[in-house]
Structures are given as C-alpha cells and as structure tokens.
Amino acid sequence: MILIAIVLGTLTAGIGSVWVAALLSFGVLARYTQHMLSLAAGALLATAFMHLLPEAFESQASAHDLFMTLLVGLIFFFLLDKAELWHHGHEHHHELLSDHANDHSGHAHAHNHAPKAGSWAVLTGDSVHCFGDGVMIASAFMADMRLGVIASLAVLAHEVPHHMGDLMVLRTGASNKRVALVKVSLAGAVTALGGLVGYWLVDRLQDYLPYFLVVASSSFVYVALADLIPQLQKRLSARETAAQIAWLLAGILLVTWVSGLAHGR
C-alpha cells in the first residue's frame, strides 16, 4: 500500500507540476515571453541559492566537498553545452553541403538548428532534482501517510516555477512546445524513480542527498547565468527595464514564498 502511494504521490508531484507549468507558460502567460524569461531566471537563481544550497549545507556533508561538487557541476554543464552545440553545428554543416548540392532546384532553405545554451543542462539538473524530490517523498510516506501526501503537494507547488524555467529554456531553443513538454515531463517522471529507489534504499541515500541538491543547484545557476540572463541583456527603455527587474524579483519572491509554505514557515 505504501509503495502504491509513493508511486502515485511522486507521479502527481513530478508530472503534475510540469503540466501546471505548461498551462501557465504556453497558455495564460504565453504572450509575455520576455517577462517569463525574467521570471524563470529569478526562480532558478532563488531555487539554487535560497533553497537547494542552504538545505545541502545544513547537512553533515563537508562544505569543501559541496563547493567542489558545485564547481565540478558548473564545468560539467558548460562542457555538456559545448558538446551539444558542436553536435548540432556538425549536423548543420552537412545539411548546408546537401542544400548546396541541390541548389540548381532554385529553392532556398533556411536552417536554424543550433540550440540555445542550457537545454541539456536544465534537463539533467531537473532530473537530479526530481530524483531527490522522489526520495524525499518516499521518506515522508514511510514516516506517515498524511505527511507523504502533504510532501507530494508541496513538491508539486514548489516545482511549478522551476518547470516554467525549464520550458522557457527549451522553448527558446530548438524544441517546439510539444517536444519541450515531453522532455520536461520525462524529467519530472524521474521523481517516481527516486520514490522507488527511496522506498528500498532510503536510509543509505540520505547521505548522498546533499550532493544531489548541489548538482541540481549548479545546473540552475548555469542555465540562469549562461542562457536566460544574457537574453535579457539588451538595451531597453526605462519602463521595459523596470518591468524586467520586477519580473526577475517576482521569480525570486515566488520561490521564496512557495519554499516557506513547503517548510511550514
């Protein structure tokens, strides 16, 4: 019975939060793409610096080891993006050669397959984060059924702004809305995997949770600073700049508020 509850709770939290985020990102708020980029940047930075990292450093893990994990994570996601950009650039080169060979047909072909930085980074980091959420939910269910339900709902609410950031990163890259939704949904489904693993090995994995949190933090920091904020660094009017800053702060405040609810503050 507990195992079934864990699976249902983790799927609801992991995938349910993605679909709520999609409704907000692609539906009601779809017209405000630039504002959503600011909101996502604020949400990702706040998640890393005000929620994940503090929680990791409250553990018994060595601060030196956690900072080293953060540094390695940032470098890893940088190299991951380099590999992705190189791969797509290599494919694009062959497509251009093919188009040139068929140029006598008189048709011009425009290609724009190079992805924005951060798509693989945010999916990897989100998967790690979701795995940690699954372990946490499993721990709550194993302590008390009602606590597990509360934890599942708290994770669902807490993940919405994160997934909004994920969807915006993928949407502004090479993916369309449907592909972006599928990719982030798969990352969200890792919550269930974390729940299953946590059900069997919850005691052993507790020692590794701080490192999971730091790796997830490194992905969010990298995506915010390497992808989202550079897109916002453009010359704007005073009014547009004020709106940009307001939405950035709104993302920070949203995560702070939801984190406070999740921790009962």
Share of the chain above pLDDT 90, in %: 10
Residues in the chain: 265
pLDDT at 111: 39
pLDDT, one tens digit per residue, over 162-213 is 787 778 777 665 557 788 888 888 888 999 998 898 888 766 777 787 887 7
Q: pLDDT band for position 157 (50/70/90)?
A: low
Q: What is the mean pLDDT of the chain?
A: 76
Whole-number pLDDT of residue 215: 83
The sign of the torsion formed by the CA atoms of 237, 239, 244, 249 equals: positive
For the cut 60, the answer to whether the pLDDT of residue 93 exceeds it is no
C-beta neighbour count of 58 within 10 angstroms: 9
What are the pLDDT digits (tens) for 200-248?
876 677 778 788 778 878 887 888 888 778 877 777 788 888 888 898 8
Q: Which amino acid is at 167?
A: L
* DSSP letters spanning 192-208: HHHHHHHHHHHHHHGGG
Range 36-52 average pLDDT: 81
Query: In the chain, where does DSSP find H-type helix?
Result: 2-22, 33-47, 53-57, 63-101, 119-143, 145-171, 177-205, 209-223, 229-232, 238-262
Spell out the residues 6+ positions from residue 215 whose beta carbon is closer than 8 angstroms to its own: 69, 73, 125, 128
Residue 94 has pLDDT above 70, yes or no: no
Number of helices (H) and strands (E) in the chain: give both, helices first. 10, 0
How far apart CA 40 and CA 50 sit, in angstroms, is 15
